[in-house]
Chain A
Amino acid sequence: MTGEVLIQKILSCRAGSVVAPAGCGKTECITDVLAAAAGRYLVLTHTLAGVDALRKRLAEKKVNSQNYDLDTIAGWSLRLSLAFPQRSGLSAFEPKEEEWSKVYAAAQRLIERGAISSILKASYAGVLIDEYQDCTISQHSLVKVVSRYLPTCVFGDYLQSIFGFRHDPAVDWDVDVVSAFPRIEELAEPWRWKRVGNIELGRWLMAIRDPLKTGGTIDLSTAPNGYIELVKPNSRSKADLRKANVYAGLKPKLGKDETLIVISDKASEIVRAALASKIKCSSIEPVGCKRLAEFILQLKTETGKARLESIMQFAVDCMTGVGKKPFMDRVDRLSTGWRGAKPLSVAEAAALEVINSDGLDPVIRLLEALCKTANVPFRRELMSSARRSIKLVIDGEQPDLDSAAWQVQNTARHAGRRLASRSVGSTLLVKGLQFDHAVIVAPERLEINDLYVAMTRASKTITIVSPVPILRAKAKRKASGVTSGASV
Chain B
Amino acid sequence: MAPRVKVVSHGETTDLRIVRVEIDNFRGIKRLDWQPRPGINCLIGSGDSGKTTILDAIELVFASRNGVMFDDADFYDVDPKKNPISITVTLADIPSEFLRNDRYGNYTRGWHGETQTLEDEPDEARGFQPALSVRLTVDQTLEAEWGIFNRRLEKEGKRLPSLSYNDRQEVMPSRLGPYADHHLGWGRLSVLNKITEDAKGSRALLAEAGRIARAEFSKESKALFAEVIKQAKCAAQALGVAVTDDLQAMLDIQAVGLSGRGISLHEKNLPLRQLGLGSSRLFVAALQDQARVNASIGLIDEVEHGLEPHRIARVLRQLKAPKKDGSIKAQVFLTTHSPVVLCDLAVSQLHVVRRDKITGDVTALSAEPQFKSLDCQAVSRTTPEAFLVPTVLVCEGKTEVGLMRGLDHYWSDTGKSPFATLGIVAVSGGGVDRAPMVAGYFRSLGYRVGLLLDTDREPDDKTILAELKTAGVSIFRWKDKHATEDHLFRDLPTPAVKKLLKSMISFEAEEQSFIDRFNRRLPERKIKSVGELEQLLDDAKVREVLGGLAKVRDKLDKDGKPDPRERGVFKDIAASEWVGEQLVGPNLNTMTGDFPQIIGKIRTWADQ
Residues of chain A having any CB pair with chain B under 8 Å: 40, 69, 80, 83-87, 113-119, 121-123
Contact = CB atoms under 8 A, between A and B. Distances in A.
A86 to B, nearest CB: 5
B361 to A, nearest CB: 29
B125 A118 contact: no
Contact of B124 (A40, A117, A123): A117
B119 interface: yes
B14 to A, nearest CB: 13
B123 A123 contact: no
Given A85-B152, A114-B125, A119 B119 contact: no
Given A122-B99, A122-B100, A116 B152 contact: no
B124 A114 contact: yes
Contacts of B106: 83-84, 119
Contacts of A84: 106, 121-122
B121 A119 contact: no
Interface of B: 7, 96-102, 105-106, 108, 119-126, 128-130, 152
A119 B130 contact: yes
A119 B101 contact: yes
Contacts of B108: 119
Nearest to A86: B121
Contacts of B101: 69, 80, 83, 119, 123
Nearest to B120: A86
A121 B122 CA distance: 14
Contact of B99 (A83, A85, A118): A118
A264 B97 CA distance: 49
A84 B153 CA distance: 11
A116 B120 CA distance: 13
Contacts of A87: 121-123
A69 B97 CA distance: 15
Contacts of A119: 99-101, 105-106, 108, 122, 130
A118 B130 contact: yes
A283 B108 CA distance: 44
Nearest to B7: A118
Given A86-B119, A122-B96, A122-B97, A115 B102 contact: no
B99 A123 contact: yes
Contacts of A86: 119-121
A84 B108 CA distance: 9
A416 B23 CA distance: 46
A358 B158 CA distance: 33
Contacts of B126: 115
A324 B98 CA distance: 59
B122 A123 contact: no
18 contacts: A40-B100, A85-B121, A87-B123, A114-B125, A115-B122, A115-B123, A115-B128, A116-B105, A116-B130, A118-B124, A118-B130, A119-B101, A119-B108, A119-B130, A121-B96, A122-B99, A122-B105, A123-B100
A116 B124 contact: yes
A69 B467 CA distance: 61
Leading 10 A-B pairs by shortest Cβ distance: A114-B125, A122-B99, A83-B106, A119-B105, A123-B101, A115-B123, A122-B96, A123-B100, A84-B121, A86-B121
Contacts of B98: 122
A118 B128 CA distance: 11
A115 B106 CA distance: 12
State the majority secondary structure of interface residues on B: mixed
B131 to A, nearest CB: 11
A69 B121 contact: no
B201 to A, nearest CB: 24
A interface, over-half SS = helix
A85 B107 CA distance: 12
Contacts of B105: 116, 119, 122-123
A114 B122 CA distance: 9
A113 B130 contact: no
Given A122-B100, A123-B101, A123-B105, A115 B119 contact: no
B99 A113 contact: no
Given A86-B119, A122-B105, A123-B105, A115 B125 contact: yes
Max chain A C-beta neighbours (<10 A), residue from B98, B119, B152: B152
A465 B77 CA distance: 84
Contacts of B124: 114-118
B125 A113 contact: yes
B498 to A, nearest CB: 78
Given A86-B120, A114-B124, A119-B106, 19 more contacts: A80-B101, A83-B106, A84-B106, A84-B122, A85-B152, A86-B119, A113-B125, A114-B125, A116-B122, A116-B130, A117-B124, A118-B7, A118-B96, A119-B100, A119-B101, A119-B105, A123-B99, A123-B102, A123-B105
Contacts of B128: 115
B112 to A, nearest CB: 13
A368 B414 CA distance: 98
B592 to A, nearest CB: 70
Contacts of A69: 101-102
A377 B313 CA distance: 84
Nearest to A119: B105
Nearest to A114: B125
A119 B129 CA distance: 10
B577 to A, nearest CB: 60
A437 B466 CA distance: 95
A473 B287 CA distance: 78
A118 B99 CA distance: 7
A83 B121 CA distance: 9
B121 to A, nearest CB: 5
A66 to B, nearest CB: 8
Contacts of B97: 122
Contacts of A113: 123, 125
A113 B123 CA distance: 8
B343 to A, nearest CB: 40
Best-buried of B120, B121, B125 by chain A (most CB within 10 Å): B121
A121 to B, nearest CB: 8
Contacts of B123: 87, 113-115
From B106, B108, B129, residue with most partner A Cβ within 10 Å = B106
A324 B593 CA distance: 115
Contacts of B119: 86
A85 B106 CA distance: 11
Nearest to A42: B101
A416 B101 CA distance: 23
Nearest to A113: B125
Contacts of B125: 113-115, 117
A124 to B, nearest CB: 8
B27 to A, nearest CB: 34
A40 B98 CA distance: 14
A83 B148 CA distance: 14
B241 to A, nearest CB: 56
Nearest to A76: B101
A463 B323 CA distance: 74
Nearest to A69: B102
A123 B105 CA distance: 8
A434 to B, nearest CB: 30
A84 B109 CA distance: 9
Nearest to A115: B123
Nearest to A84: B121
B154 to A, nearest CB: 13
A60 B601 CA distance: 89
Nearest to A87: B121
A301 B119 CA distance: 46
Contacts of A123: 99-102, 105
Contacts of A40: 100, 102
B64 to A, nearest CB: 25
A117 B125 CA distance: 8
Nearest to B156: A92
A48 B108 CA distance: 29
A87 B97 CA distance: 22
Contacts of A83: 101, 106, 152
B120 to A, nearest CB: 6
A324 B130 CA distance: 62
Nearest to B104: A119
